[in-house]
Structure formats: C-alpha cells, structure tokens
Amino acid sequence: MDERQLEILRELGEQGSVQAVADALAITPSAVSQQLKLLQREASVPLTRRVGRVLRLTQEGERLAEAAVDVQAAMSRAREIARGLAAFPSGTVSVCAFNSAALALFAPLASRFPADGVRVTLSDEDVAQGDFPPLTSRYDIVIAHRLQHTPAWPDRVAVEPLLREQLDVALPVGHPLTNRGTLRAKDVARQAWITTHREFPIGATLDTIAAASGRPIEIRHRVNEFTIVAELVRAGQGLAFLPRWTQPRPEGVVLRPLADLSVSRDVDALIRPENATRPAVSLVVAELRAIAAALINGPRERPLGGSAP
C-alpha cells in the first residue's frame, strides 16, 4: 500500500462517497475506485461495503483510515524538515471562512502576509455546521462556527479556538424593547423573527426560546447573510440574532443580550493533523488569534449600543 491509497481511503470515510472523494482530490471517480481496489488486494479483510448505491468503510476500513491520518501527519512533518522550513516558514496557506468571519478576519489577515515568505489565499464558504470538517480536504485552515448546544467537532480535525462570540438580539431603533438593558425569553417570544435556513443551528435557539416562554415563535424570514438580516431588522421586519463582534451593524439597529439564555458560538480554526505540523499554518493561526483578540477588545464591542458608525 502507498500513501495515496491511504489518503483515498481516509477521504472516503470523511467525504462519504466516491464522487465526493474525486471532487476533493481533483481526480476521476474511476481513479478513486481503482486505488481502492489496489489497496483492498493488500488487506486480508474487506475495507469497504455497499450501502445501497453508496460505498462505506467497514469497521476495519475505519481503523486503517485512522492510521492513514498518522501516516500523512508523519509524512508532512518529514517534508517540512527536509525543506528546512521550520526556522523560516514559507509557502501558501489556504484559508476559508463563513461569511461574517470572513468579513471580520480576511482583510487584516491578508495585510499581515505580503507576497514574500508565507502567502495566504482566501475563500468564503457558507455551509451547515456538519459540512465544515470535510472542507479541510480542500483548505489548510477552515474557520468554522458552532453554537454551544451543538455537537463538538470530530476528532479527525485539530481545533484551534479563535473566539467565543455572544449572539445578541437585534431590534430596530425605536422598538419598545430597546428601553431595556437586557431581555428575557418571554420578552421576545411574542415578536416576529428573522432566522437562518433550517439546516443551520441558530434556528434551534428559537426552539429554546419557545420552550422557555411556552409559546411558538413566528418566523417571518429565513436569511443566512447577517448583513441582509441587519437591514431587515432596521426595516422593522422582525427581531434576529446578530454576532456581537464579527458583524458590523448599520445605523438604526440596537443589540440587547438575553439575560436568561446563553446564546453564543465558538469560532474555531479546523485543521487536518498533517497540515497542523506546517510552520506556515501555525503562523497564520497565531495571526488569526491576534486579530480575533483585537475584535473583542476593539470598538465593535458595543452590545448595548444604540447604533454603530
């Protein structure tokens, strides 16, 4: 067996289908199948099984895929040593982030890495929480978010915390509830709401508000992009949760925290173990942490303000 075959087996476990593996590795599905067949010849037990029309890993296949992670991490460390990059990090580091994190982090990150030495390439990816880890097959660093009540990230990715961000209730200026410094679930349960699409976790927070208040929540609009959400709030279309630090607020929008429910999200950098060994990746993660810390301590921290410039 060779490293490429192990990589393909690992990708099958993480991506879930031959086609997804082919897309992730930029090869054809037939090439994926061929490499899996070659790997299977060296194994004494089945590594994959058919579930309908989908190819899945067997328990033995999963064990070998886990070993593939160690192999790729060791090879990555060896390559870095051979290239002599430990003392002088260099190379390209690809970074993706969801929209509000990209808005807050990308410009300062790009400005910290000129063309010489380490270079960053940036992409935005708006996906459901469970789809962030598979993106690590395409990007060196995946900036992802998850709410506190949702499952932790899988063990197959390294997690570098960047910040824990409060989500506050956004109201239009002049709304009666802006006269209060903090809000409670029963205060906002009677209002119309703007929230994300169903597969995104913020909607579950509204379920918690409904349970705490004993009444159903009226969802008027479903929009994922926080900039659009803020404009709808300003137009009086409903209340919404907006992040405290990563999203600029237009004039006419007020943020108030919920006092009786904790609504926050972890913003994390997800990295494959073999990429975490690269000095250039470690350098970019350190800069991301510094930028995130500046966000928390900077002028955007105004959870009780009336409007933002």
pLDDT of residue 85: 57
Instruction: Output the pLDDT for position 84.
Output: 65
pTM of the model: 0.75
Say which amino acid occupies 10: R
Domain with CATH 3.40.190.10 in the chain: 91-158+267-297, 165-264
What pLDDT shows up at residue 37? 87
Q: What is the pLDDT of residue 29?
A: 86
Q: What CATH number does the domain located at 91-158+267-297 have?
A: 3.40.190.10
- pLDDT tens, the chain, 309 aa long: 678 888 888 888 888 888 888 888 888 988 888 888 888 888 878 888 888 878 888 888 888 888 877 777 777 767 766 666 556 678 899 999 999 999 999 999 999 997 678 999 999 998 989 999 999 999 999 999 998 878 899 988 999 999 999 999 999 999 999 999 999 999 999 999 999 988 786 777 888 888 888 888 999 999 999 999 999 999 999 999 999 999 887 789 999 999 988 889 999 999 998 898 888 999 999 999 999 999 988 754 344 333 332
Find residue 194's DSSP bridge partners: 221
Residue 162 contacts residue 108 (beta carbons within 8 Å)? no
Separation CA 290–CA 111 (nearest Å): 13
pLDDT score for 299: 57
Homologous superfamily of 165-264 in CATH? Periplasmic binding protein-like II (3.40.190.10)
Q: Where are the beta strands (DSSP E) in the chain?
A: 48-51, 54-57, 91-97, 118-124, 141-147, 158-172, 192-195, 218-222, 240-243, 253-256, 264-271
Contact predicate 143/105, CB 8 Å: yes
DSSP bridge partners of 168: 242
Alpha-carbon separation of residue 221 from 192, 196, 225, 240, 248 (angstroms): 9, 8, 12, 10, 20
CATH number of 3-83, picked from 1.10.760.10, 3.20.20.70, 1.10.3720.10, 1.10.10.10: 1.10.10.10
| Residue 87, pLDDT score | 61
Where in the chain is CATH 1.10.10.10?
Answer: 3-83
**Confidence (pLDDT) at 304:** 38
What is the pLDDT at residue 121?
96
